[in-house]
Amino acid sequence: MSQLLIATNNPGKLVEFERLLAGCGWELVTPAQLNLALPDDEPGETYEANAKIKALNGARASGLVTLADDSGLEIDALDGGPGARSARFLGEDAGYEERFARILGEMAELPSEKRWARFRCVIALAEPGLPAGRQGSEEVRLCEGEVRGLIAFEPRGEQGFGYDPIFYLPQQARTMAELPSYMKDVISHRGRAAARARPLLKELLYERRSRADTAGQPL
C-alpha cells in the first residue's frame, strides 16, 4: 500500500486525520514514524501558503506524497482574527486557556448576535520530486472546508483540541469540544476539507499506479 505522510506534529490533528482518511487506500505515516524533524513554523500569511509550504517540505524530506493542513479561527468582531496566526496567537508559548481568556475578555460585552465566527481549514497535497522553490497551485492540490458558529461565553467541553471549547454550534446547541468524534468529523472545517481531499487522494493514487504500470516499476 502506498504511504501518505501526514505532515504535522500536532497529536490532535493526527488522531483526526486517522479517522477522516480511513479507508482512502493509503497507509498513513507520521513524521515521528519516519524520524523526520519537520519545522513547526508557519511563515506564510495565509492558510493556503502555510499548507503548501508544509506539504512541500514533507514531500521533499520524505520522498512520499504528503498531506498538510493549516487552519484557524476567524472572529467577525475581531476583524477576522486571530486567523492564520491562530496557532501563534499571543506568542508561541501561550496556552489555549490564556488565548481563551483574551478572546472572551475582548468580547465580554457582545451579545450572541455579534459573536459570529468561523473555523477554516486548507489541506494541501504535494508529490515528491517537485522543483525546489516552486509552489504553484498546478503542483500542489488544495481543498478547503469551513464551519460557521458563535464564540461561546465560556469554554465548554473536553473533546477535541485548540479553540474547540469556545466555538459554539447553534444547530447542535453544543461547542465543538462537546461533540462526539463521529459528529465532529462530519461538521468540522477539517472534516469538510478532508471529505474534499478524499477524491483527490483516490485520483492521485490512480495516477501513480498508472505511471508505475507504464514504467514497469513497483509503486
- In this predicted model, what pLDDT tens digit does every residue of 63-83 receive, in sequence order? 999 999 999 999 999 999 999
Looking at residue 28, what DSSP letter applies? E
pLDDT reported for residue 200: 94
Contact 194, 18 (CB under 8 A): no
Residue 40 falls in the annotated catalytic set:
no
Rg (alpha carbons) of the chain, rounded to whole number: 18
Reduced DSSP (H G I as helix, E B as strand, rest coil) percent helix, strand, coil of the chain, to 5: 40, 20, 35
Classify residue 9 by burial, with Cβ atoms within 10 Å: 0-12, 13-18, 19+. Answer: middle
Indicate the average pLDDT of the chain. 92
Pick the catalytic residue: 40, 41, 70, 79? 70
pLDDT reported for residue 219: 58
Give the closest residue to 177 by CA, choosing from 21, 73, 106.
73
pLDDT reported for residue 42: 73
Which residues in the chain land under pLDDT 70?
130-138, 212-213, 215-219
- Domain 3-215, CATH class in plain words: alpha beta
The predicted-structure confidence for 94-112, as pLDDT tens digits, reads as follows 999 999 999 999 999 999 9
pLDDT reported for residue 138: 46
Contact 198, 182 (CB under 8 A): no
- The rounded distance, in Å, linking the Cα atoms of 109 and 100 is 15
